[in-house]
Amino acid sequence: MNFKTILSVAVLALAAVNASPVNNIETIKKQCEDDGLATFYINDNGEYTCLRHHPKKEDLDYRTCFFTNDNDDEVVCVEEGFSNIPSCSKNSGATDYDKCAYKFLEFVDDGSDELPYRIRKFPTHEKIFTHNYVIDQKECRGHDGIVLSYKAAFQYICLQPATPKNSVSISDKECVRVDGKIYCIVQDNTSIDHCVRRDKQYSHEACKKTLELYSKVNNVNITEYIEN
């Protein structure tokens, strides 16, 4: 084998090595998204994951799953074999649910002021990103909500439109009418304790006064306070 042949073989081998990771990622992405129920994510550090929608009633013990949004019948899970993030794998020996949730958040946060998901623990629905006004307000806006804040960014109320999905629980919330449309306080995305009914500081009258003030300074036209 002459020098030219050896050089050609070496170049081809190097090209194959360099192309292999890309090809593998493309294959993993294709297999992840093949059925239309999953989304493949990869970041600049080469970390990747496959997040798939599953009915809650499935056997999900071997997956890391999260509730998202208002759909209680469905969860989003990390697909084993399509993720290289140890904290998200139940087979890695390094599983960390909260760290995995933050990775999920990193992948779906596009840097705007809105988040498409409310990521919550499965099966308890517990909030994961506590005391984080940035995430709270992004979640609110990402669900067509109105954020009312005044003076301090960490003092805020989230008003979300009432829909057929969330209207069942309206009786547990403070609700108002804004330009003819019913909006209710999302307690998970509200930091004003006296507007959160499950908080010991809750006060309907105090909340009403706060809503009156915050709506005025935010130019939100509340036309009616709904008594529940």
pLDDT tens for each residue of 122-175: 999 999 999 999 999 999 999 999 999 999 999 999 999 998 777 665 667 899
- Asked if pLDDT for residue 9 goes beyond 70, the answer is no
- Asked if pLDDT for residue 96 goes beyond 90, the answer is yes
Predicted confidence band of residue 51 (pLDDT cuts 50, 70, 90) = very high
Domain boundaries, the chain: 3-121, 133-226
* pTM summary value: 0.84
Predicted confidence band of residue 22 (pLDDT cuts 50, 70, 90) = low
State the chain's mean pLDDT as an integer. 88
- Asked if pLDDT for residue 3 goes beyond 80, the answer is no
Predicted confidence band of residue 17 (pLDDT cuts 50, 70, 90) = very low
- Asked if pLDDT for residue 205 goes beyond 90, the answer is yes
SS3 for the chain is CCHHHHHHHHHHHHHHHHHHHHHHHHHHHHHHHCCCCEEEEECCCCCEEEEEEEECCCCCCCCEEEECCCCCCEEEEECCCCCCCHHHCCCCCCCCHHHHHHHHHHHHCCCCCCCCCCCEECCCCCECCCCCHHHHHHHHHCCCCEEEEECEEEEEEEEEECCCCCHHHHHHCCEEEECCEEEEECHHHCCCHHHCCCCCCCCHHHHHHHHHHHHHHCCCCEEEEECC
